[in-house]
Amino acid sequence: MTCYEELQARGLIAQVTSEEEVKELINNGKATFYIGYDCTADSLTAGHFVTLTLMKRLQMAGNKPIALIGGGTTTIGDPSGRTDMRKMLTREDIDHNAECFKRQMERFIDFGEGPGKAMMLNNADWLLSLNYVDLLREVGACFSVNNMLRADCYKQRMERGLSFLEFNYMIMQSYDFYHMFQTVGCNLQCGGNDQWSNMLGGTELIRRKLGRDSHCMTINLLTDSQGNKMGKTAGNAVWLDPDKTSPYDFYQYWRNVGDADVMKCVRWLTFLPLEQIDEMDHWKDAQLNQAKEILAWELTNMVHGKEEADKAQAAARALFSTGGDVGNMPTTELDEGKFDGGKIGAVSLLVACGLCPSNGEARRLIQQGGMAVNDRKVTDIGETFDRADFAGDGIIIKKGKKVYHRAVVK
């Protein structure tokens, strides 16, 4: 099976500019391809998983990846899929985030010198030194405003207002491809299928300025059976940084995906052989829980290593057996400032442990019967717990049916 056929069999490919030419490139290790990452936070998220694993798959087939850090485009902000304007970041914030991204990508991608080794570039190196008038003359003339406004990424924003700053994002992304096509021989751009309009801008710029062909390939976005983007829990991102999302919580996120979504995630995100996945497609009922364990372990191993994956799996299993070891369970240490008169309320406890982002959501969770402490359901939003309750091994908080958390006194 060729690389392209495997990508198709896994259901990853959404759109390509020229299927036969893209096949020829990636099946024969002739693609120098890039995927861009705007560094709007100091960690990649589970939502980046599909592109990170795509990069790894293409590199394994002999192609050369370029991980492009958006040090320049992040100063503008991509309007794709958004109904509001992104927060403006300082150059210092962006540089810090870019360095964090690089450390995390190195777990997936083999960087170095020589054929097939990945490169990491930062578009700040060429975008931030551009002369505005020169850019208008050289590049602006190649873009039709009428065509740009027909792009989905702009149409979604027109009713609520699209700033001129964001309007330039497509031009900046197109210039990235044009620049790297000339300087490092980049001939293929990959990304999520919400980027299709921006990506076509790059191929058109290369055609008009250089008279040469270049190509794009988009992959499907990771969404659940309801069409919602995956990679968030309780409204919060699932981060690859262990300080922001613990390996246990990361494992639990994938362990708790819906029955309708688990096999798609196994097929898209893991490197298990397709023959094994095809067999798993027939699994039902209790076997789906085994599939979820396999998914969670594989992805946690990929991001955090085997030791952390084994610990997370052991901790998760311990919760469903009597006398299990809770030492690896996510734990919050409560300092004295969290207690008022030696007591802490149920609402405050949920927020302090990061189980709810606000007091309002904590109150709703309790009112809906979604909180239990040491296997006892909490139904009163005014309930309090004594400091002494948290002595020793502390207390075990259960949120919903599957999220467990331990709280102890610091």
Q: What is the CATH number of domain 331-409?
A: 3.10.290.10
Domain boundaries, the chain: 3-219, 232-318, 331-409
Same fold, 232-318 and 331-409: no
Q: Which CATH class is domain 232-318?
A: mainly alpha
List of the chain residues with pLDDT < 70? 75-88, 152-159, 232-236, 320-328
In angstroms, the Cα distances linking 354 to 19, 245, 407 are: 46, 11, 11
Mind listing the pLDDT tens digit for each residue in 47-71? 898 999 999 999 999 999 999 998 8
pLDDT reported for residue 234: 53
* Amino acid 375: pLDDT: 81
pLDDT (0 to 100) of residue 83: 44
- Of 229, 230, 238, 292, give the one whose Cα is nearest residue 263: 292
CATH number of the domain located at residue range(s) 3-219 in this protein = 3.40.50.620
Is the pTM value of this prediction over 0.75? yes
From the list 311, 218, 245, 189, the residue with the least C-alpha distance to 44 is: 245
Q: Two tokens at 268? A: 């898209």
Angstrom distance (rounded) from CA 56 to CA 59: 5
Contacts of residue 223, Cβ cutoff 8 Å, sequence gap at least 6: 229, 230
Residues in the chain: 410
Q: What is the pLDDT of residue 84?
A: 45
Distance in Å from the first CA to the final CA of the chain: 55
User: Within 10 Å of residue 11's Cβ, how many Cβ atoms?
Assistant: 12
Q: What is the pLDDT of residue 324?
A: 52
Nearest CA to 177 out of 212, 147, 151 is that of 212
Calpha distance 404→312 (Å, rounded): 12
